[in-house]
């Protein structure tokens, strides 16, 4: 099974989660969204994730604001390419039809109620379904503060989620092959 993990990350938290998910999957190509282009063509499983900004998917402006505030404060690390285009919204808009292929969505968000923080993975999953992907799961991974770090145990949880997806989809593919 060819799996590709595409992520958008401003402070590095979502990138770390994407890499942990790929480890759990066993083998997967991990790409920042601004480099993903059409590298996802032919993937059996597409995982797409991004940070939750202003209750949903980030925008060009929210990524810019996040990067600028860190530079002004001298605070957290800003990922190389964090403000490059296309961002996740634009990339999903231009993504080719999924034709029933599997997909999963994930996000990073502040460790508070989804009613307060929003959940970017919902918007990602909705867009993937609209494009004809079969969305098999979605998950949120928590950060302690808006710029991170990830909450304790979240990278282990991301690896476990990748393992779970790989296991479930392998069984599903095998069952489909025996029918």
pLDDT value, residue 64: 72
Could you confirm whether domain 3-178 is CATH 3.40.50.360? yes
Residue 163 has pLDDT above 70, yes or no: yes
Asked if residues 45 and 102 have their Cβ atoms less than 8 Å apart, the reply is yes
**Nearest 5 degrees, angle CA 23-CA 142-CA 162?**
25
| Residue 163 parent element (H or E) | helix 154-178
pLDDT value, residue 179: 32
Residue boundaries of the structural domains of the chain:
3-178
Residue 178 has pLDDT above 70, yes or no: no
Angle between helices 13-25 and 154-178 (to 10 degrees): 40
Residue 133 has pLDDT above 90, yes or no: yes
| Residue where the block lists tokens 């919902």 | 122
Q: What is the pTM of this model?
A: 0.90
Where would I find the beta strands (DSSP E) of the chain? 3-7, 29-32, 45-53, 56-57, 102-110, 134-143
Average pLDDT value for residue range 1-22: 95
């Amino acid at each position: 099974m060819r799996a590709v993990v595409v992520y958008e990350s401003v402070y590095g938290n979502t990138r770390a989660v994407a890499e942990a998910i790929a480890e759990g999957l066993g083998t997967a190509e991990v790409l920042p969204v601004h480099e993903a282009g059409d590298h996802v063509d032919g993937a059996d499983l597409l995982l797409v994730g991004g940070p939750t900004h202003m209750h949903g998917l980030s925008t060009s402006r929210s990524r810019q604001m996040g990067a600028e505030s860190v530079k002004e404060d001298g605070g957290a690390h800003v990922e190389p390419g964090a403000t490059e285009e296309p961002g996740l919204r634009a990339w999903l808009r231009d993504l080719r039809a999924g034709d029933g292929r599997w997909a999963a969505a994930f996000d990073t968000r502040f460790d508070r109620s989804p009613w307060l923080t929003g959940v970017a993975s919902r918007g990602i999953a909705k867009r993937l379904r609209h494009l004809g992907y079969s969305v098999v799961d979605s998950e949120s991974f928590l950060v302690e503060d808006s710029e991170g770090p990830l909450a304790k145990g979240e990278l282990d949880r991301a690896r476990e989620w990748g393992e779970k997806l790989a296991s479930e989809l392998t069984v599903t593919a095998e069952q489909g092959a025996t029918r």
